[in-house]
Amino acid sequence: MRIKNICCIGAGYVGGPTMAVIAQKCPKVKVTVVDINEKRIKQWNNPDVEKIPIYEPGLSEIVKEARGRNLFFSTDVDKAIDEADMIFISVNTPTKTYGIGKGMAADLRYIELCARQIAAVAKTDKIVIEKSTLPVRTAAALRDILDSTGNGVKYQILSNPEFLAEGTAVEDLKNPDRVLIGGEIETEEGREAVDALVNIYASWVPREKILTTNVWSSELSKLTANAFLAQRVSSINAMSELCEKTGADINEVSKAIGMDSRIGSKFLKASVGFGGSCFQKDILNLVYIARTFNLKEVADYWEQVILMNDHQKRRFAANMVQTMYNTVAGKKIAILGWAFKKDTNDTRESAAIYVADYLLNEQAEIVVYDPKVTEEQIYSDLDYLGSRSGDANRQAVTVVDSPYEACEGAHAIAVLTEWDEFKELDWQKLYDQMLKPAFLFDGRRLLESKSKKEIGFEFYAIGN
């Protein structure tokens, strides 16, 4: 089966970069990324590639190369579905905010809408691919919807979860550790569909890195991978609190255990807490699934990863207040970094939002600097929490374009994202501009401590 036309529904952090790389690596395949969000599609089509809606190192260059050649962004979802041999569903699957499973289960309304739209529009056979992260057995629901039209169109449903991490998306897509494809490998049609997708990836990924499994294993592997990664962060963060009480240093502990080849060195960096759109959502979903099968111990085990993360964010903010003589009311606090990690403009579930909210509840005045996050986004993140009115957020929080402006006259600085540029700041200049004693809280273990203490900062770093 040769694939000529790919459609991807959802032009977000996964759909956009993933399809850009497929288009670059498979120049003979036409790739159309569609979305109902007109503003987002307009941004993807911005003649100035630096203004595409997602910031990822290396992405604008790829879009520049492929856009208009074999990569297209459009709001015409029906047309793209109609023309495609292969349809990726890459829409958002947030945590439910209503009804059964509220606050835990994945909200599958957007996935279902896609399936219904495909069923309504398709006139020729299609391979439909779950690219979004989904609860195990979602493919069965998709099959029900797609097969219920009775119009004779045949569908193959594959699971092809995405493992890219933001900030390194392009590199992860170009050189993935593995590509996972789940399909109905027990039938001939299922195997053909799997092969068709394998062939797309094999244009640039070595065959031995392309893993094929049954659909359920593939769906569950994605949730499992995120749960394991997040668990490592919560584990090291748990130890960071113990380090602070005992005189051990979390960086030294991380290094010592990471050199054990059975443990490995990655994902052992203590922080103010993990953020991002995936970890919390996917673990909550896993916990929910376990609960629906009455697996109480399994559910409780994984839930603890989230509870630990919430604790870490809260304890970082509480420690700031405590250190600053138990009050931050009326004090100016500069937050450096709002994104959930460096090299992305994504702020979903960023620890900075929760730390800022905690400090605002203590009546602090906040000034934020982030090299890639817009003022509009920062206010929208705070407004979404609903802790206070939009006006109150705009009164208490200022967003500025320079770290030096952020820190002028501040009582304290909190480093909440590990942007490289923060290491290179003129820390003496920042110190000179601040009120004394000048507090510096490093939530990322980004800064070298000795020189900061020599300058005169009251320096606090997580896990030290």
443 near 422, Cβ under 8 Å?
A: no
Residue 79: CB partners within 8 Å, gap ≥ 6? Answer: none
Q: Please say which residue, 268 or 412, places its beta carbon nearer to ligand UDX.
A: 268
133 binds ligand NAD (CB under 6 A): yes
Question: Which residue out of 56, 130, 162, 418 is catalytically annotated?
Answer: 162
138 binds ligand NAD (CB under 6 A): no
Binding partner selected for residue 267 from ligand UDX, ligand NAD, none, CB under the kind-specific 5 to 8 Å limit? ligand UDX
Residue choice 13, 44, 201, 358 for contact with ligand NAD (CB under 6 A): 13
Rounded least distance, CB 232 to ligand UDX, Å: 7
9 binds ligand NAD (CB under 6 A): yes
113 binds ligand NAD (CB under 6 A): yes
By CB under 6 A, the count of residues binding ligand NAD is 27
Q: Please say which residue, 410 or 462, places its beta carbon nearer to ligand UDX.
A: 462
- CA 192 to CA 207: how far, in whole Å? 16
Residues β-bridged to residue 34: 9, 74
Question: Which residue out of 222, 269, 281, 331 is catalytically annotated?
Answer: 222
- Token code pair at residue 390: 């939009």
Of 34, 142, 15, 40, nearest to 78 (Cα)? 34
72 near 33, Cβ under 8 Å?
A: yes
212 near 195, Cβ under 8 Å?
A: no
- CA 155 to CA 325: how far, in whole Å? 64
Question: Which residue out of 278, 303, 342, 418 is catalytically annotated?
Answer: 278
Binding partner selected for residue 396 from ligand UDX, ligand NAD, none, CB under the kind-specific 5 to 8 Å limit? none
Residue choice 1, 110, 185, 431 for contact with ligand NAD (CB under 6 A): 110
- Token code pair at residue 201: 């990836």
Binding partner selected for residue 226 from ligand NAD, ligand UDX, none, CB under the kind-specific 5 to 8 Å limit? ligand UDX
Binding partner selected for residue 461 from ligand NAD, ligand UDX, none, CB under the kind-specific 5 to 8 Å limit? none
State the CB neighbour count (10 A cutoff) for residue 340.
25
- CA 269 to CA 463: how far, in whole Å? 10
Q: Is there a catalytic annotation at residue 123?
A: no
DSSP label of 50: G
Q: Is there a catalytic annotation at residue 222?
A: yes
Rounded least distance, CB 308 to ligand UDX, Å: 12
Residue 368 backbone dihedrals phi, psi, to 5 degrees: -115, 135
Contacts to ligand UDX by CB under 6 A = 162-166, 226, 229, 233, 267-269, 271, 274-276, 278-279, 340-341
Residues β-bridged to residue 130: 89, 159
What residues line the site for ligand NAD (CB under 6 A)? Answer: 9-15, 34-37, 40, 77, 90-93, 110, 113-114, 132-133, 162, 164, 166, 277-278
